[in-house]
Amino acid sequence: MFCGCCNRFAFTLAEVLITLGVIGVVAGMTLPNLIHKAQDRAAISQLKKAYSVLNQAFRRAVDEYGPVDSWCDADNYRSGGDRAECTEMIPKILSQYISMQNSRVQVTYKNRVKGGTFSMGSNFKNNTTFVLNDGTILYFYISPGDNYSSNWCKESKDVVGARRFYYHCGQVFVDVTGKSKPNVNNKDFFAFQIYQDGIAPMGNRADEKSSYYYTFNSACKSEVGAYGACTGWVLDIGNMDYQYCNDLSYTGKTQCH
């Protein structure tokens, strides 16, 4: 009788150990995914906050100072003259409406897909760096979209097609985690376009008709275009699932599961 009890106890213990082992395997498979999803939600929330702050600041600045190209000597810029005034004035005016400070920050970022790194910061030409009170880094890069100075910051009548590529005033790159990791393109590093009438997320639906530099398939999924070009997808679709599957699109599947 005693041995029978021992056998039954030993069998039950073995079952428990097997069950715990299965639970451990499942947890090992699902826990990292849960952590990544939580990080994604935090990044999306911070990106939405940064966009709201930037958008409100632009609206207030345009109301007070007029279109962005009137904030500096646009004719001098377009004729190939000194760009320093416009490079400095755009973030300077915006800083009146945002709690941010000019900062000598330089950060190296990893490409999410294609490998390699790139750097952003105050040591780069046409780039002015600010840091928000919550630690978010803003890199203002003032340049024409097609690299022709004559097209810089002009009014665009075609707001849904390829012409939107040509007339922007520059870009704002946003690091939603500040100096902290992961420092990875389209994971905590995103981008917005500056236009005369405000800003727009890079890689939005309209950009699908624009240059391949900004399309979801090229710039976001394959990283052969502009840095930070998943911003439009993140704010419009509300996820970062492009990290986990390769068959997403604006016109088809929009999430992995």
What are the pLDDT digits (tens) for 22-65? 455 444 556 677 778 899 999 999 999 999 999 999 999 999 99
Half-sphere exposure (Cβ direction) of 126: Cα atoms closer than 13 Å: 14
Q: How many CB atoms lie within 10 A of CB 214?
A: 28
Q: What pTM does this model have?
A: 0.84
Distance of CA 247 to the CA centre of its chain: 20
Cα 94 to Cα 71, 138, 228: the distances in Å are 10, 12, 21
Quote the CA–CA distance of 238 and 44 in Å, as a whole number. 7
Quote the CA–CA distance of 48 and 51 in Å, as a whole number. 5
- Tens of pLDDT along the chain (257 residues) come to 545 555 554 557 666 556 555 455 444 556 677 778 899 999 999 999 999 999 999 999 999 999 999 999 999 999 988 888 998 899 999 999 998 888 888 899 999 998 999 999 876 666 789 999 999 999 999 888 677 888 899 886 655 555 566 788 999 999 999 989 999 999 999 999 998 878 889 998 888 877 778 899 999 999 988 899 999 999 999 999 999 999 999 999 999 97
pLDDT digits (tens, 9 = 90+) for 151-180: 899 886 655 555 566 788 999 999 999 989
Nearest residue to 73 via CA among 184, 191, 167, 153: 153
Q: How many CB atoms lie within 10 A of CB 20?
A: 10
Quote the CA–CA distance of 240 and 35 in Å, as a whole number. 13
Torsion, Cα 75 81 84 86, to 10 degrees, reads 10
Quote the CA–CA distance of 176 and 53 in Å, as a whole number. 13
State the DSSP H helix or E strand holding residue 101, giving kind and residue range, or none if neither: strand 100-102
Quote the CA–CA distance of 240 and 181 in Å, as a whole number. 17
Nearest residue to 239 via CA among 223, 219, 206, 216: 216
Residues in CB range of 103: below 8 A, 6 or more apart? 122, 129, 130, 131, 137
Q: What are φ and ψ of residue 144, in 5° steps?
A: -75, 145
